[in-house]
Structure 1
Amino acid sequence: MHRTILPPWLGVVVTDDDVDAPPLLLRLDEPARTWTDAFPVGNGRIGAMVHGGTAHERLQVNDDTCWSGAPHDGPVEPVGPLGPDGAPGVVRRARRLLADGDPLAAEAELARLQSGWVQAYQPLVDVLLDQPDAAGGAGYRRTLDLARGVVTTTWASTADVPWRQDVLVSHPDGALLLERAADAAAPGGGEAWVRLTSPHPWAGAPTPVAAPDAHPRAAVVLATLDMPSHVLPDWVDGPDPVRYGGRAVHAAVALAVLADGDPDRDPDDGARVDVVDGAVRARGVRRLRVVLTTATDHDVATGTLHGDRARVAADALAGLGRAVADVDGIAARHVADHAALMGRVTLDLDAVAPDLPLDTRLARHAHGTADPHLAVLAFQHGRYLTVAGSRPGTLPLNLQGIWNASVRPPWSSNYTININTEMNYWPTLVGDLAECHEPLLGWLDRLSDAGRGTARTLYGVRGWVAHHNSDPWCFTGPTGRGHDSASWSSWPLGGAWLARHVVDHHDWTGDDAALRRHWPVVRGAALAVLDLLVELPDGTLGTSPATSPENHYLLPDGRPAAVSVSTTSDLAIIRDLLEHVRRLAPAAGDHDEDLRAAVDGALERLPTERVAPDGRLAEWRTDVPDAEPGHRHQSHLYRVFPGTSIDPDSAPALTAAALRTLDARGPDSTGWSLAWRLALRARLRDVDGVADLVTAFLHPVDAEPSVGDGPLRGGVYRSLLCAHPPFQIDGNLGFTAGVAEALVQAHRRGPDGVREVHLLPALPAAWPTGRVRGLRLRGGLRLTELAWRDGRVERAVLEADRPVVVDVRERGAAERRQVTLRPGRRVVAAAPA
């Protein structure tokens, strides 16, 4: 019988709220068989996937600044040929072809505007640990503690010696820490090897450097490498898809291995470390600690490369020196920092967590065994991935967050801005992680600067535009070289959609200074859409050419087409943006009367959504057949969610049409689309739909054949990472936002301008009793506590950042209770009579 080894820092942040609720542990009872089985840790910049091996451990490490390519020189370059009137002439010709009824010819014309592709997010190194004495699997357990940000593996070796390993990445120390130890009562003297490998060629192979004086039983190696100068997307065939040389990110990795032996048996401790052929050998080891730091020449704030290799190496070593100087305190500082963010919001669904590994629980849940605690884990998992992957000073989360093992990852692991990047940040504000929103806002400032040239070059318009893909180098053009589908490439509204995040940040925080700082993003996007609008034959304003992201309709002869006129999603995004410009311009200090007049005039002439003859909310300007009825995108429902204009109170007819649309899309889709549909159903107060989508999202795509239910579809891997498939992090984050939307909504204002706080608007029947604390709401509000029993509110406590009056209602009821809130005072907004 083996004992559990408990490090002294493990319990530093237990609070009263933790005592009764099940722990936030993701648990698997075997080492990772695939990359998606591993558990992610991170500090916003350094990410690692922990595989949990015993004799052989692998930590796959990323640095969020490691991308292929380099900053762009000059404006976007269309593949052409363009003709004497340039790129705007191409747009005008496509518009005429659409008016003449030839959308496929219009698509061929628009292909001339395509340029290249975005660059790809890159893996950095693997840390490989070989320790034969630790081999074994008795009592194996691997957990990710979401509350503390630590992956812990415990097991007994074949010699029946208990072992424990903890892995974390510290934000305060900027370092990865692995600590592995055998039980103190067991004989010491084992040997371990630690080495670095990389999918990239070494610029400087791992080489020993002087170890810190304070740690005589330590060895340090330094390695340097360059990222590829160009990587083609994984779906594009071409010669030399991965190229090295030329301008690229320079990176360095510094690794320290600290070994402790058995001082009771050997007064000199007994442990020895040395470097052999670039690998660290540790002998006489009872406890092993590995500390890793990284550095690159990629300046996130400016999007530039300084090119000084010596400085990069020095930065990595300096960071390692600071971390190792107080290595004993790294874990406690990390846990305190991580838990301070994670602990702001708690969710308890009054559910017992079964004493089973996650993969078993997911399979049982898929076959009808109730396990509400899975939803709690998935909700907090989204917040965890935000804390671990997005911190001030980092790049925004990409398609895989900050975790990627492939040189040519799926969809380049890029910023896909026709839904996915935006979804990554849906839970950030409501989840009380506003500082984790800053990387997106900072990147938008740079993206909008780059997009001004694209707006002028391609469309001859003011402001800025971006299309469906981008990267840290702020690519803003249409992708492809004349061969990408117009359904995704010919869509210039990425900037208009992203600008909503500046609006949301202000709506939640009330930070006027941040609004003014980022207002050029919003204003520039508005100027672009105002210039892109054209007058249509019926006198309305619209877009031509237009697409509905990634979707197609059928022509009379059965061929699919993507380009049309005035798609519903185009008009919804534009209307939403212009309404926010009109509302927030005074707070931003923008008193441009000409802009105000243009916005007012456009809003008067923009059509709103319409209901099609079949009862669905129409996606296209005319009633055409769907090429793919169950399509994963539902961009024409934009003003339901993430917009705030369509709900059962404000637009009952459009609500019914939106629900009919979701029904027609079917029950299955990709993982991220299921998360979006969850948020949509919650906004529409479709309780049964919310319940069905929670179940659908938690479907295990990698279940064993004996418990599977047919072909793979969207859901989650056994680690709870979202499966498109393949892995995309957006679904994890969108799920969190959807659950929050089911518990509370505060987007509506009544006719008197009073904000409404709607409690439990879409609570599933499977969650009859529960409590949530700490959610942030629009208007500077905080839901300090919301408790319910038998589906009815028992107690709700609100507080506010500024004086405000709100109306509180419960579960669709017409009755409202008006509550006055003042800063620093918590008010019971609902309680049993």
Structure 2
Amino acid sequence: MTIPYFSYLISWFKKLVLATGVLALCAPVKGQDLKLWYKDPAARWTDALPIGNGRLGAMIFAGPGQERIQFNEETLWTGEPRVYSREGASKYLPEIRQLLFEGKQKEAEALAAEKFMGVLSGAGNKDVWFKEMRALKGLTGNPSAVNYDDSKWKEMIVPTPEGWEAAGWQGLDGAIWFRTTFELPESWKGKNLVLDLGKIRDQDFTYVNGKLIGSMDDAGAGRQYKLSASDVKPGKNYIAVQVLNYFDKGGFVGYKDTSRKLLVYPEGEQESSALSLSKAWKFLVQNDEPPAVPRFQADYQPFGDLFLNFPGHDKTSDYRRELDLRTAVSRTSYKVNGVTFTREYFVSQPDQVIAVHISASKPGSLHFSAGLGSPHKYSSVRKIDNQTLALSLKVRNGVLKGESYLRVVTSKGKVSASGNKINISGADAVTLYLTAGTNYKNYKDVSGDPSLACKKALASVSGKTYGAVRNAHVKEYQKYFNTFSINLGKDTRDNIPTDERLKQFASVSDPSFAALYVQYGRYLLISSSRPGTRPANLQGIWNDLLTPPWGSKYTTNINLEMNYWPAEMLNLSPMAQPLFDMIDELRSTGRQTAKMHYNAPGWVLHHNTDLWRGTAPINSSTHGIWVTGAAWLCHHLWEHYLYTQDKEFLKNRAYPVMKDAALFFNSFLVKDPRTGWLISTPSNSPEQGGLVAGPAMDHQIIRDLFRNCIQAASVLQTDKSLADTLQQKYKQIAPNQVGKYGQLQEWLEDKDDTTNKHRHVSHLWAVYPGNEINWEHTADLMKAARQSLIYRGDAATGWSLGWKINLWARFREGDHSYNLIKMLLSPAENGGAGSYVNLFDAHPPFQIDGNFGGAAGIAELLLQSQNELIDLLPALPSSFPDGDVKGICARGGFELSFSWNAGKLNRVEILSKEGGSCSLRYGQKILQIKTAKGERYQFDGELKKIQF
């Protein structure tokens, strides 16, 4: 009896230890808060906290007295369905290639710019409008005249380096008059003067005392006009400037050196004796309807703003705002006269509303107003009933319309609506439900009803308590977020506001901040790319500008792809579905571009796309003709298969798209007359070097596509003839080459400049995210790639830092990666790279790809699964000596949880999702195991199986 019972106790104890170990791996780190929090409201948009459900996004400023909630809806863009590709462009392809083979790059670029670029959108009648503005249409009198009455004009401080939009006039384009005066010093009499007005966008007509003294139509040139002594007079002199701005930033933008002032001074004398004209000028809008400017692609648009005004809440105590990554709920709290006021904000996917819940610790204390607004010129607000407002808008120079409804639900108190506001008084608690929709149905159809989404959303929350709506939101969100956890050390600094942690991160030990950054990246991906929505764009789903940087589009030569680097590895595979949906649409438009521009089968994508799925080359022939966007996106399809082992996805979704892309390159590749290799031309190495023949990045991506298609055909037992053809072509493609400086060559020729510090490291694609170059099979090329990255340097823009973090991880140099993590997680001050207060990535300006690239890079330090091996802690930085991770995914269909102490592996558990062979490596130890679907396998730090 004793021995069996003793054996039972030992067995029970072992099971307990095992269970405890598993729980230790799965449980969140004790004390790790997973919150971004601050002691002050947001002063700028990049201070505000983002929330979203993939379709709707909002930025929470959290001001106590005046709250601004800026919101977006993913389908509100400029533009319209149209053909982006140029008919007949393929006729010029042979000539462009020949010019490049002859070394005539400039001639090739000029021909391509004229005959090969995509089609611009329609232009307005600029000549007619220009003549009308110069004829002073819409004005009474002549504003350039000395005696013109400008007493009722408004004022604007000039210069405004980011355009008058930054002075509160977003969306303003057209003809604007400015006036100011200066007193002529006695010592300047009889002298010629210089009037320095800096750069003016786009065109100016500058008058002094009623005389036209200069005009330029060059937004990039400084205006330095000479005044003869006869142009000025003793005493007061009048300056009047008519500014014609057609698109984007307008007005007096000054100089890049913002300390440089607008001046008037005697010719030939020191500027130190000048009079400053950097001050408040009077201005008048003559006309804000300029003709449409032709565009290659469309811009993502802001939708509107919800403004809340709380009288008497300007002086507060105990203020705090936060974003809880565990629940995707933002929260603001503060005290006024002993009463605690609390606001909660989230965007519900189940109910499709932006919810704002406001409560107070004392009954009847809520007195405030809520109103809607929009930066769009064609927008208006109307009352639906005493609890509901509606915002209607139309995008300028586009076909899309939008509707937003605001519904107020109160607990006690009074509610009334008047004008564009709803007034609430004496309420205990208030919930606001904000909705938005457009007439967009798909990239070819804009026949939708923009109010339909609003009506459905309000019907969905009707009759539900706030608690029920909140609980449904949290449950839906957590089914994605809770699949993964990461601990990089005790969270000893969670009592420090996030902005302060950001400032201190580079100089103190705070590994848990890096873990927070990983989870923030996952939060942003879930919030901007839910299944059934459009993919995350250059700013995810958040944008407050009518003319955002780079259109807030999809840049496909790195940025879009980087957005999805964390998806598979960090257990967010469903978040990639919007990307796959867009790839299906791009395949359709890309076929048209392949035919029109290359007379080739299959599909092609150049370096940008938008809501309307343009695939033609845009902007400049020096960087816009880059042909491997489709092939790179196909890499994501194949990666999804590798991570999930989903053969149905491979057969029905991925392989047909990959095959089509491969058919294009099978036709597109041509023989280089000098080397005999097959090369890609015309193309470029993003985004430098101009139009060339044979950039290394193209060849790396094309080989990756061919290899993946060959493997997919083998898995699916199909298309053997095509696979054989691709195998033959694969062997003939120009190989990776090591240059004279020991570097991996970026181009076909050995012409790399070792002093080049460009942010793009395109020729290192085969190291990451590709895997053609690796330590196991191509060590010499790996060394050359490493040397190239050393030459390029560490300093970079935000997203480039994200890429370099991953590259150094692949080089297995974790401490070097960590140095770049510190650079990424540093304040983006004075226009530099790093992170903004809300941890948004700074290119600068804001681009979300750095958040995603950085999150993926930190994970890459802990686990890698290329080369058919699962590497545990391949590049662990010394700054992460202790930690654990749960739910990290590896290629082959495996999910892992493991822990480490003092830099050494402690325990690992593997879940095999689909069965099959698993090769596990830690240090020099390699373990081969056969797994069964759904089974878990546990090993200690020596990779010895834990037996029970």
TM over 0.5: yes
Q: Could you say if the C-alpha distance between residues 389 and 104 of structure 1 is closer, same or farther in structure 2, counting changes exceeding 3 Å?
A: same
Pair 1:533 & 2:669 matched: yes
Distance 1:606 1:497 in 2: 17
2:436 to 281, 294, 298: 294
Bigger shift: residues 821-830 or 567-576 = 821-830
Q: Could you say if the C-alpha distance between residues 826 and 285 of structure 1 is closer, same or farther in structure 2, counting changes exceeding 3 Å?
A: same
1:250 to 401, 416, 420: 401
SS at match of 1:312: coil
Partners of 1:219 and 1:280 within 8 A in 2: yes
Specify the alignment match of 2:854 in structure 1. 735
Specify the alignment match of 1:120 in structure 2. 299
Distance 2:771 2:101 in 1: 33
Partners of 1:291 and 1:324 within 8 A in 2: no
Distance 2:27 2:851 in 1: 24
Partners of 2:29 and 2:490 within 8 A in 1: no
Specify the alignment match of 2:189 in structure 1. none
What fraction of aligned residue pairs are identical, expressed as a percent?
Answer: 33
Pair 1:520 & 2:633 matched: no
Distance 1:313 1:140 in 2: 37
Deviations 1:621-648 (A, max 9, x none): 1122439711111111111111122222
Deviations 1:92-138 (A, max 9, x none): 11211122221111111111211231100010010000011433331
Specify the alignment match of 1:548 in structure 2. 685
Specify the alignment match of 1:242 in structure 2. none
Q: Could you say if the C-alpha distance between residues 724 and 304 of structure 1 is closer, same or farther in structure 2, counting changes exceeding 3 Å?
A: same
Deviations 1:272-322 (A, max 9, x none): 1011112111111232211111222212xx4233435xx332441232121
Partners of 1:714 and 1:723 within 8 A in 2: yes
Aligned positions of 1:611-690 closer than 5 A: 611-626=738-753, 629-690=756-817
Distance 2:871 2:914 in 1: 19
Q: Which amino acid aligns with 1:818?
A: Q
Specify the alignment match of 2:393 in structure 1. 225
Cα displacement (A) at 1:829: 3.4
Q: Which amino acid aligns with 1:305?
A: D
Structure 1, unaligned runs of 5 or more: 1-14, 79-85, 211-217, 231-247, 261-268, 553-561, 703-710, 750-755
Distance 1:434 1:563 in 2: 36
Specify the alignment match of 2:623 in structure 1. 488
Distance 2:70 2:499 in 1: 22
Q: Which amino acid aligns with 1:179?
A: H
Distance 2:740 2:497 in 1: 49
Partners of 1:637 and 1:658 within 8 A in 2: yes
SS at match of 1:747: coil
Distance 1:494 1:433 in 2: 23
Cα displacement (A) at 1:69: 1.3
Partners of 2:327 and 2:477 within 8 A in 1: yes
Specify the alignment match of 1:192 in structure 2. 368
Distance 1:628 1:125 in 2: 46
Partners of 1:430 and 1:776 within 8 A in 2: yes
Cα displacement (A) at 1:339: 1.7
Bigger shift: residues 725-734 or 563-572 = 563-572
Cα displacement (A) at 1:672: 0.3
Aligned positions of 1:148-159 closer than 5 A: 148-157=327-336, 159=337
Aligned positions of 1:196-595 closer than 5 A: 196-202=372-378, 205-210=380-385, 219-230=387-398, 248-260=399-411, 269=412, 271-299=413-441, 302-308=442-448, 311-328=449-466, 329-354=468-493, 355-366=495-506, 368-480=507-619, 484=620, 486-518=621-653, 519-537=655-673, 538-552=675-689, 562-588=690-716, 591-595=718-722
Specify the alignment match of 1:800 in structure 2. 912
1:762 to 850, 858, 875: 875
Pair 1:720 & 2:833 matched: no
Q: Which amino acid aligns with 2:476?
A: D
Cα displacement (A) at 1:19: 6.1
Partners of 1:224 and 1:313 within 8 A in 2: no
Pair 1:605 & 2:732 matched: yes
SS at match of 1:547: strand
Q: Structure 2-normalised TM-score?
A: 0.76
Distance 1:189 1:387 in 2: 36
SS at match of 1:796: strand
Cα displacement (A) at 1:207: 2.4
SS at match of 1:59: strand
SS at match of 1:601: helix
Deviations 1:211-259 (A, max 9, x none): xxxxxxx7012222222334xxxxxxxxxxxxxxxxx122211111122
Partners of 2:632 and 2:701 within 8 A in 1: yes
Distance 1:279 1:56 in 2: 14
Specify the alignment match of 1:90 in structure 2. 92
Distance 2:631 2:487 in 1: 37
Q: Could you say if the C-alpha distance between residues 627 and 459 of structure 1 is closer, same or farther in structure 2, counting changes exceeding 3 Å?
A: farther
Specify the alignment match of 1:215 in structure 2. none
Distance 1:658 1:587 in 2: 32
Aligned positions of 1:155-174 closer than 5 A: 155-157=334-336, 159-174=337-352
Cα displacement (A) at 1:460: 0.8
Cα displacement (A) at 1:362: 1.2
SS at match of 1:736: helix
Deviations 1:570-629 (A, max 9, x none): 11111111000100024456x234422320111111132111111111101112243971
Distance 2:325 2:300 in 1: 25
Cα displacement (A) at 1:499: 1.2
Distance 1:609 1:467 in 2: 22
Distance 1:683 1:55 in 2: 50
Distance 1:630 1:672 in 2: 15
Deviations 1:784-825 (A, max 9, x none): x11000111000100111222222111xx2321222221222
Specify the alignment match of 1:695 in structure 2. 822
Aligned positions of 1:23-62 closer than 5 A: 23-62=33-72
Partners of 1:249 and 1:305 within 8 A in 2: no
Distance 2:332 2:613 in 1: 40
Distance 1:153 1:488 in 2: 45
1:110 to 105, 112, 116: 112
Q: Which amino acid aligns with 1:219?
A: Q
Q: Structure 1-normalised TM-score?
A: 0.86
Specify the alignment match of 2:77 in structure 1. 67
Distance 2:719 2:775 in 1: 35
Distance 1:625 1:742 in 2: 29
Distance 2:431 2:302 in 1: 23
SS at match of 1:94: helix
Partners of 1:392 and 1:439 within 8 A in 2: yes
Specify the alignment match of 2:21 in structure 1. none
Specify the alignment match of 1:786 in structure 2. 898
Distance 1:717 1:628 in 2: 29
Partners of 2:755 and 2:792 within 8 A in 1: no
Distance 2:772 2:656 in 1: 24
Matched length: 738
Pair 1:817 & 2:927 matched: yes
Structure 2, unaligned runs of 5 or more: 1-24, 121-295
Cα displacement (A) at 1:545: 2.1
Q: Could you say if the C-alpha distance between residues 16 and 592 of structure 1 is closer, same or farther in structure 2, counting changes exceeding 3 Å?
A: closer
Question: Larger Rg: 1 or 2?
Answer: 2
Partners of 1:546 and 1:564 within 8 A in 2: yes
Distance 2:574 2:892 in 1: 17
Partners of 2:383 and 2:419 within 8 A in 1: no
Partners of 1:120 and 1:412 within 8 A in 2: yes
Distance 1:721 1:189 in 2: 35
Deviations 1:497-547 (A, max 9, x none): 111111111111112222223233211111111111101232211122231
SS at match of 2:42: coil
